[in-house]
Amino acid sequence: MPDMHEEIEQYRDIIRKILEAFEDVSFGVIIKVATDTDVEPFDQERDRGLIDDIKRLADETMHIYYRTPIRIRRINEVSNFLEREVPRIFHSITDYMKTIRDVIHFGGVGYPDIKIVDSSGKVIYIDIKATTRPETGSARDFYITPLGKTKEKVSTSGKHAVLGFVIDGNPNNFRTIGWKLSDLSKIRIRMKPEFNADNLEIYKKEAIIAENYV
């Protein structure tokens, strides 16, 4: 086996090239490579009916949870709450929808959260977000691990968007005060590398220095 110095030299150039390659890449490229489906852009004119329906659904959700605070302690759990609520609210206002025929919550972890199906059978993939700071950002505001669950969820070409709700308030008293709908075909992303090991690796015999039990 190579010693530590040799291993560092072997991987140094590989890791540098990987990081450089994924410093600024189109979201559509990642989806295409990972799922072999295309990311289709929104068209303000051609998709007016669809956009109007999404706006109506977003408005209804916003007004409901402006009037009735969300009783959740942590802001990052508000997104999880809303991703379940948006499909439920859709099914309560279907009579007002002109283009959207169904909204399906995927559940589980990983992008995307929900799927919209329009009257022509086209699919729109939506990630639901909640933020108290829409004008500032961090690298984890939107993220995707384009394997596993994403490959299962994204099974056909379609539009992709983030529906981000703007949140105000305090723990156990959060209110939706706004929302933003963003076309993911227009964004570029970067990779934040993360190296993992499971418990079998962490606690393998040769790594244990000491241990004790009651």
* Assigned token pair, 132: 């108290």
Contact 98, 146 (CB under 8 A): no
* Assigned token pair, 13: 């150039």
What are the beta bridge partners of residue 129? 164
Cβ neighbors of 135 (< 8 A, separation 6 or more) are: none
pLDDT of the residue at 212? 61
pLDDT of the residue at 48? 95
Count CA atoms within 13 Å of residue 74 on its CB side: 3
pLDDT of the chain, 214 residues: tens digit per residue = 556 777 777 777 777 776 666 677 888 998 998 899 999 999 999 999 999 999 999 999 999 999 999 999 998 899 999 999 999 999 999 999 999 999 999 988 889 999 999 999 999 999 999 988 877 766 567 777 777 788 899 999 999 999 999 999 999 999 999 999 999 999 888 777 666 777 788 888 887 776 767 6
pLDDT of the residue at 13? 76
* Assigned token pair, 67: 């009037």
Q: How far apart are CA 163 and CA 115, in angstroms?
A: 12
pTM of the model: 0.83
pLDDT of the residue at 2? 57
